[in-house]
Structure 1
Amino acid sequence: MGVPVLGHWWHAGGMSLAVPSLPPPDKSSVFLFLQEKKANKEIDKAQTEQLETINIRTLEKADLKTTLYHTKRAARHFEEESKDLAGHLQYSLQRIRELERSLSAVSTQQREEDRSARRSEAVLQRQLQQTRKERALLNAHVRQVTESFKQVQLERDEYAQHIKGERARWQERMWKMSVEARTLKEEKMRDILRIQELERSLSELKHQIAEPPSSAPPAGPSEVEQLPDEAKHLRKEVERLVGKLQSQVENNQALSLPSKEQKERLQEQEERRLQEQESLREQKERLREQGERLRKQEERLQKQEERLRKQEGRLQKQEERLRMQEERLALSQNHKLDKQLAEPQCGFKDLNNENKSALQLEQQVKELQEKLSEEHLEAASQQNQQLEAQLSLMAIPGEGDEGGHLDGEEEEAPRLMPNIPEDLECQEAMSSFMDLSKKADRKEQVEKLELGFIQLSGATEGMREYITEYESQGAVPNTWHQEKEDVMRPAQNEEMKVEGVQHLCGGGGGHGR
């Protein structure tokens, strides 16, 4: 007891401690040593489990960081896509407004052209009716003038025949009168010759009377007595011839007066006939001019009708072209609207899937945080219990040097062991800080996604209202609902597949833990 024993090495729980040589321990110290060794083993085991848990949490944290990175990247991608979709939607709405303005301008122009065409057609119809009325009146006037012309021609022919007959009669009468005049002239000449002979014989008789009578006696009545009688007879004959000649002259004068009057009447009738012919010629000229005007008017009407037909053909072609343009415009608008609606639907589907995956990840993070907090609380409670047990063991008093030796060991052991709880507290603080930062980032990202989803929902709602209004006007086909169902059905199937995969992943992770 008085000589000290050399010290020896004692290995306990993987730790080498230099223990001075002590006297052989008693049973109580051995029991305490065994309890302390058992407690150290439990502490080592707890530390190993905590290190494994920390490693698992570190791996899960790295996975969560990777998932959060991909989620942020997907959120940025979907935010850019939402901006692009909003830009496409704005451009589509602007394009639709421009197309509506152009369509309204084309419709207004078409209505103006239709109104002008109807007005011109009405004016041309009125002109055509007026021309037809004038043509009917001119035709009636032409018929009347033609009938009057025929009547005048008949009267002219009758009058010409009458004039011809009168002329023949007057020519025959003039011929007779000229024959009578020649006869009278011949008789006059003979009478003049006879008168001259009688005058010569009278002068001879007067000369004979003036001569002395002859010596021979008259055999009968004397020639002197006969001469006065003969002279008297000759004088009577001359007077008779003179009277006859005078009467012939008077008759010739009387006949010449009616012939002059007849000639004047014939001349007047000839002048009237010439005037009538001139008037007929003027009427013919007027009729010819009227016929020329009618022909020109008919040609003008034909040209107007041809122009109307061409204008109607152009209007029909223009209406057909406008109808085809409206159909092409409606088809292109429907195609663009369907395409633009399909793109937001696909974007909404992807965004919904990403949002659901983000919500599921957030739920998983919450569950992991809850599990980590529960495990940390359990580990902390276990450590507290172990420390309390160690403190209670260290609080038991020892005897003599054994007690001092135990006190030295107990002081040495707590000096070594509390390092791990301090490290654990630092790791827990860091983990809780990282979890809080991740949770804040996740919440901010989820809020951004929710805000983008709300904006896209508002844009989609406005687009749906516009499509509903456009559909009420008959521009969007009813097949859009079927296409929407066809687009939403694969999205629902994909969501079900994602939920199944996540469920399997969640089951595997829980089993691994």
Structure 2
Amino acid sequence: MADQSRQIKLAAAKKKLKEFQQKSSPTSVGVEKGGGGGGGGGGAGAKKKRKVKGLNQHDASSTGRNSPDNDYTDTNGNGSLTEEKRPLSSTESLRQLSQQLNGLVSGSSAAYVNGDSPPAMGERELEGRNQELSAALESSNLTNSQLNTKLDQLAQQSQVLSEQLQKERKEFDQKSSKEQGAMREQLQVHIQTIGILVSEKSELQTALQYTQHAARQKAAEAEDLNNRLQGTKQRVSELERTLSSVSTQQKQFEKQNKEFEKERDSLRLEVFRLNNLSEESKQQGSELSEQIKLRTQENGAMRLELEDLRKRLEIADLMLQQCSSQSDPSNATQQVQLLLGEKQQLEAHNHQLMESISQLQTERDCYAEQIQEEGRVWKDKTEQLLTQVSLVAEERDRNINRVQDLEASITELQHAAALLSQEREAQDNAEPQSSGPSESEVALQEALNALHQEKHALTAQYQAQLRDNEQLSRMCTEQETRLGELERQLESQVQEDGDRRRMLEDVQSDKATISRALTQNRTLKDQLAELQNGFVKLTNENMELTDAIQTEQHVKKELARRMGELQEELHNFKEQLELKSQDTQGLMEQRDQVAAQLQQYCAGYQTLVSEREQIHHQYLKQIQLMDRLQHDESQGRMHLEISQNQLKQAQDYLDLLVKDNEHLKTEVKDLLNSSALGSARDQGDGVESQSMQESPEQSTSIVIPEDFESKKDMEEFIRGALTRVEAERDEARRQLEEEHRHHMAARHQASMALSLEQQHHSHTDVHDHDHHHEHDHEHHHDHDHDHDHHQDHDHDHPHDHDHHHEHDHHHEHDPSQDPHSHCEHGHEHSEGGVPVEVHQALQAAMEKLQQRFTSLIREKADLKDRVEELEHRCIQLSGETDTIGEYIALYQSQRAIMKQKHQEKEHYISMLAQDKEEMKAKLAELQGLVMRLVSERNDWYSRYTAAVAGAGSVNPDLLPVGEDLTHQEHQAHSHTHLNADSGAEAMEVIPLSEPTPGLESPSSQAQSSGTSQTDSKSLGPKEDGTAQQIMQLLQEIQNPQGVLGSPPFLGENPCIPFFYRPDEQDEVKILVV
């Protein structure tokens, strides 16, 4: 409609222009074209500028701001210019007509002299007309600016209204979403209640079917019982006849059972005798095994004695080393004599041990003949071990000889060293300036080094021999363990053979008894058959005789009996009917109980739902706590990384400090070496100087100052350091003495414990004790090494060293003799044979075995009785387990039904959750579409207002006089009224009329005018598309997931009738119809 009215107005304007052109004369038109282009144009332009300066600045800004709207009104280029000049052309036509009339009236009186006056008057008139036209243009521009401001105000009003519409729609959407959520929750509750009712109905139906089936079974059982009663009555009569015959047969069977019991007792006595024989054989085997154990214990004792000898050799080596460190030759000779005496004693003891070993070999060979092939193998291995032992003894003798030679050479070197030290002192006194070792000292030192190397080589050989001996001992223990395993296998095989023999004898005896019982049963059956035949013959004869006499009496008795039976059957039927009625009442009560239990189950299910929600809330809280803990852990890791970096920095700093300390130590050593040359003159010989040079390497706890003030301070510091070193050396000697005492006491206790354990313990304990002695030997070797390490400090105080050495020798000599004498005593005790204590222990073991055998026989008899009782109970339990299996099958079937229903409910709940999520997404889409529709409507409304305003500005003559002002006032009044209403309701107003930096080009005006028409034409299909999408979304929201997603128990239309009313807290109370 707007486009049609606009076209009509344009046609009317064109007609008026044509009429105006026809009325205007060609002369006036020519004057306007000639004079208006030159000076008139400039004057009009100047006057226009002056008038524009006097205008209001607000109007100018509004015209500049709304220039696109002015461009929008120019729809077709030149046509717009004619539309703007339309009111000016009408006034000009009136004026020209009035001037022509005036000219005609005054034309006769005017006289043209040169033709200059009329043109001048025409120019002035044209200038006036131009001024009037410029004024008219300015007034039209003012009106256009006012209209543009009105358009802006109308656009703001439209935006305010659109915002109000959006807010109202959002509120409506929120209310609708709340209502839909309440409806969804009500639907879920109704669905749950329907599912519960359906499950209850199915359970009640199954209970009814079960009761009906039970009633039918009971009716069938009653019929079967009636039939059985009749059959039992007939059987009772027959059984009474057979009782007499069976009683006679039972007496005969009792006599036969007594005979069988006597035979069973005799068989039991034979079994007991055979068991005694087997036990005696076992005892003999145990005695043989104990003898083997005693032999192994004796071998272990011999090994222990060999180890004692080795340890004594080590002690002798230690004594030799101590002798080598001393300077007095008298003490060395005494120690050598003592060592030779100990050597002779050890050789004598070794000879005795060899004799005892030969005796043990003979005994072992005798015993190995009894044990077949395994004893021979053991004998060969022991002979190999003996050869190795002899080789070890020979090597030990060679080592002793070499040690003696070395001791002699060491004593000679010590004498030579003493002489050299005296000569050196004399040379130092004679020539104080000369310093340095002589050639003889160098030769002696080289000889000492060579001797030390030989000593180390000997110790290495000695350790290798010890390792070989240890390997041999391990081989012996492994062979002994193999022998024990073979003996155990033999014993187990003997036991298995005895058990097999017993089983065969039992089977044979059982077969004999079964064959006897079968023969007796056959004879009894034959006798019973003969007795039955004779009894049948007698009964037939009696029946034939009595049939003729007692036929009438028999008929009467049968009639009376039948009457009594019928009465009894009627009474039984009445009792059965009463029982059935009681059963039906019980079933009805059970049904009521089941219904009550179902109600309780429903209440429990509701409580479980509430508990599940609480657990979900607790789970969320725990997740929050876990997040916090993870955050704390990440912070802790950061702190740890920081602390680790700090530690690395501290370690680097410590490494730098250690390097600095080492550098300072080297400098201090150089100072001490330089000072030692000067202090050696005052303090004595060169041996002390060497010890002083070596002492700083050991004493690391002395704090060395950086600078010494004088030489005296340095000497005092060195003397203090020496005193500290000597104090530390004394403390180390004391600690060594205490450790040596503890070590010797422990060795003495171990030797005493060995003698006791040889009589009471097995070979495994002996092996553990050997390992303990090896550990003591290693500790003693470490102690010797420490003693050699501290040998350099003993040169400073020889007197203290001699005293210490004598004290150690005294402590070492006494315990070495005690275990020797103790070992000899043990050997003398072992030569006499088996000790009394062992014999008593064997007797006690035999008594215990006899008691154990008798107790086992009793337990075996009790266990047989117990097995019979258990078999009887198992038979009873098998019947009960069958009934339990039936109950379990029923329970499993019901449980499967409940599980299936629960799975269906969970599936439907998940479907509802998916529908809820889809509903949220669709609501979001609907909101977006509504917003788009609102924006499209706002665009359409703004364009419509712009078109209406453009039409009003084109043809103001169409409006009646005075209506233009009234229309403008009405628009302003309505605009202010709308602004007042919208300002009261709207929260935020977005300003759309922002100042533009400048005016756009006329080409953009033309483009905007062209696009406005195309946009106004394309609004229709877009709005139709958005409306269709909104309708589709509404249909999908009304039908979520279609009919396929509904559960099977709701049917095709999942609609539940219910009434709801919201509370004050927006909670819905449902009343299901």
Instruction: Give the structure-1-normalised TM-score.
Output: 0.28
Whichever of the two has the greater Rg, that structure is 1
